[in-house]
Structure 1
C-alpha cells in the first residue's frame, strides 16, 4: 500500500484529484487536506510516498510547505508533484524543492494516473537514482509539463510545427517547439544536429548507411526501429563522431 497526500484548498478540486488517484488502483491510500498545518501532521503520523501539492494556496504557500517537508530527513527525496494554474511559479519550484513534475489545472485523468503509477511502481528506486544529478529538460505536452532526461534521448525530429522526441522510454510529441530551441534546451555534447529536421544522440547510433539513391544517408539506432536522415552539411561531423565513439574515444 502506498500513501499519497493531497494538499489542495479548493474542496471540489481536492475531491476530484483524490478520486482520480484512487481510481488508479486499490494499492493507494489517499490522505486529503486543505491546509499546510494539517498536511504536516499527516506527514508526521504517516510515511507519505507521494505528495500532490497546490502551489498557490489561498492563505499560505504550497512551495513553502514543500521546502519545510524537504527539511525532514525521510522526505528529502520523496516525490512531490505541484498542482497549479500558474506556470510562472514552476521555475522556482524546480530550483528550490527538487520536485518531480507539475501538473496544470484542469486535471487530465490519464496523465495523473500515469504519473502516479510510474512513481509508485516497483522501479521507483531506479527512477530516484536517475533523478539525482541527471540533466533533464521540461517540455509542454498537452496539459502537463513532462521531464525528459537528456541521456535517454535517442533522436529528435521536427516536421513543420511539430517536434517528436524519441527516447528509450517512448516518444513525446510537442507542438510549436523548433529544432533550434530544442537543441538549445538540450545543450549536450553527444546530441548533435544531423539534418535540418533532426538531432541525434551519438551514443545510440547503431549504423549509418547510404540510401538507395546513393546521395543521402540514413541513421539507424539502438532501442528503436525508427530512423533519421543525415544531411550533407552535417555528414563529416556526424560520421567522425560516430567512428570515434565506436573506437572508444567518446565518453
Structure 2
C-alpha cells in the first residue's frame, strides 16, 4: 500500500485529481487530501507519504515553500514530489532532470496522471531512490527553487563578483550571493580543486590545458562542454600534478 498526499486548495481540482488516482490504484494507493499547508503537514507527520502532488499556487500560500519545508524532514528528503500548476514558466527542465520530479499542467490529463503515479511508485524507482542516497550532492537555490546537484556531475565552477555559475553535465546553474569559498566547503571533493581565484575545476573532466596570451594564466578545456576555465600560476602545480595522476588528457607541451 502506497500513501499519496494531494495538496490542492481548489476543491473541484482536488477531487478530480484524487478520483483519477483512485481509479487506477487496484487497491494499492491510499490517497490523502489537504486544502492548505497546515493540513498537509499534519497528514505528513502522521502518515508516511510515498508521493506528493502539490499545487504551486495556493491561496495566500506557496506550494514551493511547502515542498522546501518537507525536504527538511528526514523521512522526506528523497520522496517523490510532483508539482501541479497552470503556469508553464514553472517548468524548469533542469530542475526536473536532476531531481526526477515532474510538473503537470492543469487541466489534468487522466492518462498522464496515472502513468506517472505508477512509474514513480514502481520497484525500479524505489531502487533508484536508494542509489541516489548513496551519491554525494549539494543543494543550492536557483530562482527560488532548491536544486540538487550531484558532485560527480560538476565540471567546473566560476564566480563573478556575487554570482556563481555551476557547470554540470546536465547544464549550468546560476546562484546569487554564494562565494567560491562557500561552494568549495560545500562540495568537499578531492577531485574538485581551485584553479584560479574565480574557479573550481573537476580534474576528471579536464581535456587539456593551454597557455593564454596572458603569461600568468592558462586555459582549461573540458569534456562535455565548450566552456573553459582559467588556471592561475599559484594553483598550477597542484592542478597539473593531480591532472597527471587521475586524468588521461592532452597537455600542451609548452607548459
TM-score computed with the length of structure 1 as normaliser: 0.66
How far apart in 1 are the matches of 2:177 and 2:86? 22
Q: Tell me which residue corresponds to 2:27.
A: 45
Q: Unpaired runs of 5+ in structure 2? A: 55-62, 103-115, 250-255
Give the match's secondary structure for 2:235: helix
Q: Tell me which residue corresponds to 1:150.
A: 151
Q: Tell me which residue corresponds to 2:44.
A: 63
Q: Tell me which residue corresponds to 1:74.
A: none
TM-score computed with the length of structure 2 as normaliser: 0.65
- CA change 1:91–1:100 in 2 (3 A) is closer
Q: Please list the CA deviations of residues 25-64 of structure 1 after superposition, one character each: whole Å capped at 9, or x if unmatched.
A: xxxxx8348xxxxx9999773569xx99999333752532
Offset of residue 189 of structure 1:
1.2
Offset of residue 211 of structure 1:
1.1
Aligned length: 212
- CA change 1:40–1:238 in 2 (3 A) is farther
Structure 2 counterparts to residues 1-251 of structure 1, below 5 A: 7-8=6-7, 10-11=9-10, 15=13, 31-32=17-18, 45=27, 56-58=37-39, 61-64=42-45, 68-70=48-50, 83-85=63-65, 89-90=69-70, 92-93=72-73, 95-99=74-78, 109-112=88-91, 114=93, 119=101, 128=128, 131-246=132-247
Offset of residue 210 of structure 1:
1.0
Q: Tell me which residue corresponds to 2:106.
A: none
Offset of residue 102 of structure 1:
7.0
- CA change 1:63–1:173 in 2 (3 A) is same
How far apart in 2 are the matches of 1:54 and 1:211? 59
